[in-house]
Chains A and B, each alone.
Chain A
Amino acid sequence: MTTPVLLPTPRRLIDATIDGETVRVPEGTTVLEACESVGTEVPTLCYGDTLTPRNACRVCVVEVEGARTLAPACSRKLEAGMSVATDSERVRHSRKMVLELLGSSVDLSTTPKVPEWMERYEAEPERFGPRAEPAALGVRDARRAGEHEPGDGAVAETVEQPAKVDNDLYVRDYSKCIMCYKCVDACGDQWQNSFAIGVAGRGFDARISTEHDVELPDSACVYCGNCIEVCPTGALSFATEFDMRKAGTWDEEKQTETTTVCTYCGVGCNVTLHVQENEIVKVSSPHDNPVTHGNLCIKGRFGFQHVQRRGGG
């Protein structure tokens, strides 16, 4: 049997330079993709390989010759003749500041690569002063847009507050949230179409929220966990992971990852089982699966307990 081979419309190749070296890429390629193609590393946080770029975090900025401001590599398309600098003084400065601003206001302890980038850009988040006390639960959610208590600048304000534990499956620890919008986009029209969460409030008080900050079980959440899949910081995590981290038993060195096919229905989603000490501790899904792009439903994502019911029968 022959299968038809679908050819994409051929794209025109364009020439541009990145850090002085010529690159030739198809038209429509982003600066980030072009950088990756020549092995230039660009830090990213809010960029998601399965989502439309929001270009919100600005850690990926690059300098485009002739432009007044820096450009986000994750969304800006490379243009013919463009000259891009990824390590200029201005670029390094803005990346350093983004890391410092985030580091001083958010708990980045579970965000991968951050220590390495902090070192590379010589970021010192502590220089804005001691961190303010975390807010009590509900305080940030009750803030009115366009208003704040100025204080005296003695402490650096943060987004820290207790984690939201309101269901058995996953935990929302917004002290770790960098407001990348990825969970909202995954839950909304880009993937899940449940629209259980949105960005509420504005400015520094902007936060991820259900309507009126109701608990997840009262919201439209269907526990697909697709938001956890895309969360870059660990703000959203499996209850198992959250509890183990709290108990100090979470140890990625000891974990194995096994990708298999979900057995619940006929769609055939890929599930990657993360196993530590013979227990499934979380489930992810490969982003390069052409059908599901890392998305699952509640069964594939959370329905693993029966696998490890041992003894008793």
Chain B
Amino acid sequence: MDLRLLDEVATAAERDAVDSLLGAPESGWDGGTRQDSDLRYARGGHAARDQRDLLLPALHAVNDRVGWISRGALNHICRRLTVPPAEAYAVASFYAMFALHERPERVVHLCTDIACAAAGSGRLRDRLAERLGPPGTHPDDAAATWHESPCLGMCERAPAALALQAGAPARYAVSAPATPEDLDALADGPPRQNGSANGSAPVGATADSSTNGHGAAGAAFPTTFHPAPLSGLSPEPEPVAAVPDAGSPDHVLLRRIGRVDPLSLDDYRSAGGYAALREALRLGPAGVIREVTDSGLVGRGGAAFPTGRKWNATAQQPDTPHYLVCNADESEPGTFKDRVLMEGDPFSVVEAMTVAGYAIGARTGYLYIRGEYPRALRHLENALSLARERGLLGTDIMGSGFSFDIEIRRGAGAYICGEETAIFGSIEGQRGEPRTKPPFPVEKGLFGKPTAVNNVETLVNVLPVLLMGGPAYAAVGTETSTGPKLFCLSGGVRRPGLYELPFGATLGDLIEAAGGLPEGRSIRGVLLGGAAGAFVRGDELDIPLTFEGARAAGTSLGSGVVLVLDDTADLGATLARVAAFFRDESCGQCVPCRVGTVRQEESLLRLRAGASPAEEVPLLREVGQAMRDASICGLGQTAWNAVESAIDRLGLYSEEDPDTPATPAPGDRAATEEAR
């Protein structure tokens, strides 16, 4: 392949950003100084193309440093990695966080998704628009631009905003619950004079308040983001703030959150950390798989697939190497459980990945984390570097002869990359487009090799499985939904947050645990399972929160979202937002989803504007049925679930046909799980 590049040249900062990721270029062929010897033989070719998976990190490097990706920068990346520019452009333009046009260094992402809209993000949006103009624009020489964002995974503190500031290193700030004053400060950009915690202090120079003196701050390892957030805002609450009943003796998955310093490996070990890996190494890979199978653990990422079976199928594959992918893309609206685990107990994720890698025979694990989780990223980067330092990652872990390491890959604003095959494309440096199954990931996954993809919460469950033993774990919960489960409560409840309950509690129990609704409020609907899930009514609170219970009630648990809309919520607006979400997040590969999500949104907008449900609802049903039946992946297949349930169960736009049954019979609707 001939690389034909544009003439534009990268700036010094852009080159530096790329070269500090990839190392200095070797010759004129890959963007370095031209030497005489370069004329005699060419470099690049396969060796460079084998680095294609560094395309996404390289794009991030430039975007983090200068805030956008210029033609010159893209050229330089293409030359370094031997990627044709049209392909690099195809990849860069797939992601919402990358800009291909010049913009200010600071970008404010304001969440306008379901929970945040219910908490008043509309006012904040107007405020930002007043200051900076419509989303994606900015007044001349403004310090910031802004975008409306899908769920930022901070729904317990809605409304949420995230600001990212390009630089070396990049910085971030979280404002949740966001106040107008916070947004003003973010929109104004950095103060001109040298602020105390702001300015261009190098990484590690500023003590981080959350390390308690024995974490990594001050240590010489590079993190992607500067440890001190952007100034001008009240400090972000500690991760434990997301867990209202933190410290409960009943907690298994959340037991360390708030009790140990998430940046300290010593703390983690003295709180029982790495006992499960020790046990795993004692049991051997087959023993680990046996315990996990006996535990009845099923995936927590939405598909509810038995983890033991997935691991066994991967371990059995003759083709090598095997890979592990930890799916931390968490972008299902309403979901924030993985963020709390990664921020509050990051070593448990690292330990659990090591156990999983051991069981399936992988030497490399990829942790794919959504791009909007800067604090979780920093805590994980710290955890990896400390684990490596102590020989808990790398060669010969704990003297067992087992070698394993973890690479972090950051998403860049694309919900679809959480789909288990799209995540491969994204890691490989391709567009994050789902692939057809069969072949399944356990046969042909990442780089075409056998791969186990698991959700963060699923993996973290493996630690108690090994410590308790599979059968004892299986005794927790119900017969077919075993173990503890995390539920993400948000919306109109008094104490939104992350709750851990053994399977078996009812929806009512959970809402009660979250303090119920404030005096005088009643439930308009509860969205179970996120945007891909379904609404249930306020008089259906006896639904047991188990996989089988939810299914019997014609809904699904999905990723554990319980989003309560009270009687003040604008249901029509919520549905339009859900529809906009699917339209924005569709990868665009297949017609039913690419165009169907547009037609679905248009119809819902017409309904809001007063169109007749008798005309629109049948149209929605027809589009919805085709999306469900004929889309390639779970995104399109579930893009109509929430809308359908709002019509059928909550009676929205119900003038349609009085004979339509109010509640679909169980099994009537494709369960979200099967589509995942």
Q: Which residues of A approach B to under 8 Å, CB–CB?
A: 54-59, 61, 68-70, 72, 75, 90, 93-94, 97-98, 101-102, 104-105, 127-129, 142, 144-148, 150-154, 156-157, 178-179, 181, 188, 193-206, 209-212, 214, 218-220
For A58, the closest partner residue in chain B by CB is B630
User: Is there a chain A Cβ closer than 8 Å to B99's Cβ?
Assistant: yes
User: Is there a chain A Cβ closer than 8 Å to B606's Cβ?
Assistant: yes
Contact present for A211 and B583 (CB under 8 Å): no
Interface string of B583-594 (1 = CB under 8 A from A): 111111111101
Which one of B588, B591, B632 contacts A202 once the chains associate, using CB atoms below 8 Å? B588
Contact present for B84 and A146 (CB under 8 Å): no
Contact present for B670 and A68 (CB under 8 Å): yes
Knowing A68-B674, A69-B637, A203-B583, the reply to whether A144 touches B597 (Cβ < 8 A) is no
Lowest 7 CB-CB distances: which A-B pairs, in order?
Answer: A198-B90, A206-B588, A146-B96, A153-B605, A195-B84, A97-B626, A211-B85
Give the residues in chain A near B590, CB-CB below 8 Å. 55-58
Which one of A72, A150, A205 contacts B580 once the chains associate, using CB atoms below 8 Å? A150
Knowing A157-B598, A204-B586, the reply to whether A150 touches B576 (Cβ < 8 A) is yes
For residue A193, give the distance in angstroms from its CB to the closest CB of chain B. Answer: 5
Contact present for B591 and A58 (CB under 8 Å): yes
Give the residues in chain B near A151, CB-CB below 8 Å. 602, 605
How long is the Cα–Cα vector from A256 to B604 in the complex, in angstroms? 50
Contact present for A220 and B86 (CB under 8 Å): yes
How long is the Cα–Cα vector from A181 to B637 in the complex, in angstroms? 21
Within residues 595 to 613 of chain B, which ones have a CB less than 8 A from any CB in chain A?
A: 595-599, 601-606, 609, 611
How long is the Cα–Cα vector from A207 to B38 in the complex, in angstroms? 38
User: Is there a chain A Cβ closer than 8 Å to B290's Cβ?
Assistant: no
Which one of B74, B147, B598, B623 has the greatest number of beta carbons of chain A within 10 Å?
B598
User: Is there a chain A Cβ closer than 8 Å to B1's Cβ?
Assistant: yes
Contact present for B4 and A156 (CB under 8 Å): no
Give the residues in chain A near B174, CB-CB below 8 Å. none
Which one of B84, B93, B599 has the greatest number of beta carbons of chain A within 10 Å?
B93
Give the residues in chain A near B625, CB-CB below 8 Å. 90, 93-94, 97
Contact present for A220 and B414 (CB under 8 Å): no
Contact present for A203 and B86 (CB under 8 Å): no
User: Is there a chain A Cβ closer than 8 Å to B436's Cβ?
Assistant: yes
How long is the Cα–Cα vector from A276 to B95 in the complex, in angstroms? 46
Knowing A146-B584, A150-B580, A209-B90, the reply to whether A101 touches B595 (Cβ < 8 A) is yes
Which one of A102, A145, A153 contacts B94 once the chains associate, using CB atoms below 8 Å? A145
Contact present for B584 and A101 (CB under 8 Å): no
Interface string of B92-104 (1 = CB under 8 A from A): 0111100111000
Knowing A58-B631, A151-B605, the reply to whether A203 touches B587 (Cβ < 8 A) is yes
How long is the Cα–Cα vector from A70 to B606 in the complex, in angstroms? 30
| 11 sample A-B contacts, Cβ–Cβ < 8 Å, listed by A number | A61-B630, A94-B630, A97-B630, A101-B596, A147-B584, A195-B1, A201-B93, A203-B583, A206-B589, A211-B74, A211-B88
Knowing A102-B595, A202-B588, A206-B588, the reply to whether A153 touches B436 (Cβ < 8 A) is no
Contact present for B89 and A97 (CB under 8 Å): no
Q: Assuming A93-B629, A104-B595, what are 19 further A-B pairs, CB within 8 angstroms?
A: A97-B622, A97-B626, A101-B591, A102-B591, A145-B96, A147-B136, A147-B148, A148-B580, A153-B604, A179-B589, A181-B589, A195-B84, A195-B87, A198-B90, A202-B414, A202-B588, A203-B583, A204-B594, A218-B6
For residue B2, give the distance in angstroms from its CB to the closest CB of chain A. Answer: 7
User: Is there a chain A Cβ closer than 8 Å to B197's Cβ?
Assistant: no
How long is the Cα–Cα vector from A101 to B588 in the complex, in angstroms? 13
Contact present for A199 and B629 (CB under 8 Å): no
Contact present for B602 and A156 (CB under 8 Å): yes
Contact present for A144 and B588 (CB under 8 Å): no
Give the residues in chain B near A201, CB-CB below 8 Å. 93-94, 588
Give the residues in chain A near B87, CB-CB below 8 Å. 188, 195, 198
Knowing A178-B591, A204-B594, A214-B6, the reply to whether A147 touches B602 (Cβ < 8 A) is no
For A103, the closest partner residue in chain B by CB is B595
Give the residues in chain A near B605, CB-CB below 8 Å. 150-153
Give the residues in chain A near B147, CB-CB below 8 Å. 144, 147
User: Is there a chain A Cβ closer than 8 Å to B431's Cβ?
Assistant: yes
User: Is there a chain A Cβ closer than 8 Å to B135's Cβ?
Assistant: yes
Knowing A98-B630, A212-B71, A212-B100, the reply to whether A145 touches B591 (Cβ < 8 A) is no
User: Is there a chain A Cβ closer than 8 Å to B525's Cβ?
Assistant: no
Contact present for A57 and B626 (CB under 8 Å): no
Give the residues in chain B near A156, CB-CB below 8 Å. 599, 602
User: Is there a chain A Cβ closer than 8 Å to B365's Cβ?
Assistant: no
For residue B88, give the distance in angstroms from its CB to the closest CB of chain A. Answer: 7
Contact present for B150 and A146 (CB under 8 Å): yes
How long is the Cα–Cα vector from A82 to B150 in the complex, in angstroms? 41
Contact present for B629 and A94 (CB under 8 Å): yes
For residue B314, give the distance in angstroms from its CB to the closest CB of chain A. Answer: 23
Which one of A129, A178, A214 contacts B602 once the chains associate, using CB atoms below 8 Å? A129
Contact present for A153 and B626 (CB under 8 Å): no
Give the residues in chain B near A193, CB-CB below 8 Å. 1
User: Is there a chain A Cβ closer than 8 Å to B65's Cβ?
Assistant: no
Which one of B89, B148, B602 contacts A212 once the chains associate, using CB atoms below 8 Å? B89
Which one of A90, A152, A194, A203 contacts B585 once the chains associate, using CB atoms below 8 Å? A203
Contact present for A146 and B414 (CB under 8 Å): yes
Give the residues in chain A near B594, CB-CB below 8 Å. 179, 203-204, 206
Which one of B71, B580, B599, B637 contacts A104 once the chains associate, using CB atoms below 8 Å? B599
Interface string of B566-581 (1 = CB under 8 A from A): 0000000000100010
Knowing A94-B626, A212-B89, A220-B85, the reply to whether A204 touches B595 (Cβ < 8 A) is yes
For residue B594, give the distance in angstroms from its CB to the closest CB of chain A. Answer: 6
User: Is there a chain A Cβ closer than 8 Å to B413's Cβ?
Assistant: yes
Give the residues in chain A near B580, CB-CB below 8 Å. 148, 150
For B623, the closest partner residue in chain A by CB is A97
For residue B137, give the distance in angstroms from its CB to the closest CB of chain A. Answer: 11
How long is the Cα–Cα vector from A196 to B2 in the complex, in angstroms? 11
Contact present for A101 and B592 (CB under 8 Å): yes
Give the residues in chain B near A220, CB-CB below 8 Å. 2-4, 84-86
Contact present for B630 and A145 (CB under 8 Å): no
How long is the Cα–Cα vector from A206 to B597 in the complex, in angstroms? 14
Give the residues in chain A near B2, CB-CB below 8 Å. 194, 220
Contact present for B136 and A97 (CB under 8 Å): no
For residue A91, give the distance in angstroms from its CB to the closest CB of chain B. Answer: 9
For residue A12, give the distance in angstroms from its CB to the closest CB of chain B. Answer: 18
For B637, the closest partner residue in chain A by CB is A69
How long is the Cα–Cα vector from A58 to B628 in the complex, in angstroms? 12
How long is the Cα–Cα vector from A201 to B588 in the complex, in angstroms? 9
Contact present for B609 and A152 (CB under 8 Å): yes
Contact present for A127 and B619 (CB under 8 Å): yes
For B587, the closest partner residue in chain A by CB is A202
Give the residues in chain B near A94, CB-CB below 8 Å. 592, 625-626, 629-630
For A151, the closest partner residue in chain B by CB is B605
Within residues 1 to 54 of chain B, which ones have a CB less than 8 A from any CB in chain A?
A: 1-4, 6
For residue A129, give the distance in angstroms from its CB to the closest CB of chain B. Answer: 7
How long is the Cα–Cα vector from A52 to B613 in the complex, in angstroms? 43
Give the residues in chain B near A179, CB-CB below 8 Å. 588-589, 591, 594
Within residues 53 to 101 of chain B, which ones have a CB less than 8 A from any CB in chain A?
A: 71, 74, 84-90, 93-96, 99-101
How long is the Cα–Cα vector from A97 to B594 in the complex, in angstroms? 12
How long is the Cα–Cα vector from A201 to B640 in the complex, in angstroms? 23
For A206, the closest partner residue in chain B by CB is B588
